Amino acid sequence: MKPGYIVALVVLVVAMCAAIYSFSGVVAQHADISTAISQPGKTLQIPGRIRKETVKYEITEGRGSLRFTIEDFVDPSKTIQVVYAKPKPENFDAAVSVEAIGEYREGVFEAHNLLVKCPSKYNDQSSAAK
């Protein structure tokens, strides 16, 4: 085998290993609120219904912080406070539910990313057409 092919193969293997390693930190396991509380520091993705009365967006020292509580879809008595230290997502006010990706630490779920779930504008049209 030519030395050029060996070098190319080694570079390809190293690049694949680097890609797998970097993507492994991005993927978060789906969990419920109880699991998130019982596994502090572990990156998880937790879905929940937003309690609108708890939503607060505060700006301190030029940085925004969104705080709100979500409740479990199955058992609404299970709740967790979410802190998102980035700008509020544009469609957050219209959202009904959210999937927060982050870690549970010191009594709050520190979200790195929010997947906002808005009600579909097509739900009313499809039910009216029936």
3-class secondary structure, 15: helix
Whether residue 120 is contained in a domain is answered as yes
Whether residue 97 is contained in a domain is answered as yes
Token output for 97: 């539910």
Whether residue 37 is contained in a domain is answered as yes
Whether residue 8 is contained in a domain is answered as no
Spatial neighbors of 99 by CB under 8 A, at least 6 apart, are 45, 46, 47, 48, 114, 115, 117
Whether residue 90 is contained in a domain is answered as yes
Whether residue 21 is contained in a domain is answered as no
Structural contact between residues 53 and 68, judged by C-beta atoms closer than 8 angstroms: no
What CATH number is associated with residue 51? 2.40.50.140
> Is it the case that residue 118 has pLDDT exceeding 80?
no
Write the pLDDT tens digit of every residue in 64-78: 789 999 999 989 899
Domain of 76 in residue numbering reads as 29-129
Whether residue 11 is contained in a domain is answered as no
> Is it the case that residue 126 has pLDDT exceeding 50?
no
Write the pLDDT tens digit of every residue in 96-115: 999 999 999 999 999 999 98
